[in-house]
Amino acid sequence: MNKKDFQVFEKNDVVYLDSAATTQRPKVVVEALVDAYVNRNANAHRAGYELSIKATEGMEEAREKFAKFVGARKEEIIFAKNTTEILNNLARSIPINLEDDVLVTDMEHHSNFVPWQQEAKQVGATFRSVPLNPKTYELDFNIDLIKSNTKVFSFTGMSNVSGYMPNIKEIVRQIREKNPNTIIILDACQLAPHKIVDVKELDVDFMAFSVHKLYGPFGVGVMYGKYELLEKLEPFLYGGSMIGKVSLEVTTWADIPHRFEAGTMDSSSIMTCVAAIDYLNKLSIEKIEENETKLLELAKQKLNEIEGVHIIGHQDENNYGPLLSFYVDGVDADDIATMLGSKGICVRSGKHCAEPFLNAIGVQGTVRLSFGIYNDESDVEKFISALNAALKLLR
């Protein structure tokens, strides 16, 4: 679709099908990062000289871009290193007590499973997980799982194993009716690069995603939080920039959102995000989705023609994003990925940092392919050709 915009494909003869792990960066993003280091390299929000002012302006422009991208207020956007850090911070910052119930799902990436598990364990709270349907491998959500003491429900908007997308709006609606006090957190790491995500429409309380999966730089995570909840939330990280006043007796916090951004932020990477969002907006999420859906259908069709291949889920394509995982009878997933890699086909294999999912379906490991805006039909054809060649040797 847009391979010409990415220098990596000029210099490397690869078929990149691992965008669920990280995306490649277009030229405009690489150039923006260089510009940030050359022309605006200073601490943001720290000084009155020109370089620092430019860094501050660049960082705040990025905040405005992300606010518009997800339909939030600027003050509701908070920067961190990545989604993992955000979810850990939320698990530590939201007050969870002995009598509380914490709910996640079997679909979660470890980053949205382990922090809640460990925090619940530390305080003695109940920790539970919504199971998968054993036939479809999709989320088997039932409103009876929400209890009167369910403090947090944290779940993914798109599985990083299967690509399954639960009905976020309907789940949130049911929870609001059953227990309006439950804090609802959405891990949008896989969802945000492929779908329009409007936080007001979805009505989630907090949301997190990583910009390196959005064709932007490493080192930037974005958190959305409802302002009224951010006002009640205590910071977890302490240090520079997040302080109001400090004395021996008491410390006060800076205004929202800065009270949640302790220490020196990676302002160069953050301001570079402006170029990434502008690039995506120019293409439009709708057109991206159309192309990726076409490629997903082609890949599924070709894989189903190969004997012994089993795709995880994907019975109803309307519920899936542009990634899929599969396993092959009698063949190790890592061996398949290694042989594909030797031919320049970049895929992921293993448990994908989502062991509860793989354990629930009784599979040791899968091969995952995931699409980005630079993929086209020739990539699918090359992948299938290399896979067939690999299976001839491995079977």
Residues with catalytic function: 353
Tokens 């277009």 -> residue? 26
Instruction: Identify which of 137, 191, 156, 165 has the alpha carbon closest to the alpha carbon of residue 313.
Output: 137
Instruction: Identify which of 336, 331, 322, 330 has the alpha carbon closest to the alpha carbon of residue 367.
Output: 336
Contacts of 353 (CB under 8 A, 6+ apart): 109, 110, 111, 160
Check: CB of residue 39 under 8 Å from CB of residue 282: no
Check: CB of residue 151 under 8 Å from CB of residue 127: no
**CA angle at 362 for the pair 107 and 129, rounded to the nearest 5°:** 35
Sign of CA dihedral 310, 315, 316, 320: negative
Tokens 């960082």 -> residue? 59
Amino acid at 126: T
Residue 362 burial (C-beta neighbours within 10 Å; 0-12, 13-18, 19+): exposed
Contacts of 350 (CB under 8 A, 6+ apart): 333, 334, 365, 366
Instruction: Identify which of 175, 171, 131, 167 has the alpha carbon closest to the alpha carbon of residue 150.
Output: 175
Report how far apart, in Å, the C-alpha atoms of 334 and of each of 318, 328, 358 are: 29, 11, 15
Sign of CA dihedral 138, 92, 196, 171: positive
Report how far residue 317's alpha carbon sits from residue 298's, in angstroms, rounded to the nearest whole number: 12
Report how far residue 339's alpha carbon sits from residue 337's, in angstroms, rounded to the nearest whole number: 5
Contacts of 381 (CB under 8 A, 6+ apart): none
Cis-peptide, bond into residue 257, ω within 30° of zero? yes
Report how far residue 348's alpha carbon sits from residue 350's, in angstroms, rounded to the nearest whole number: 7
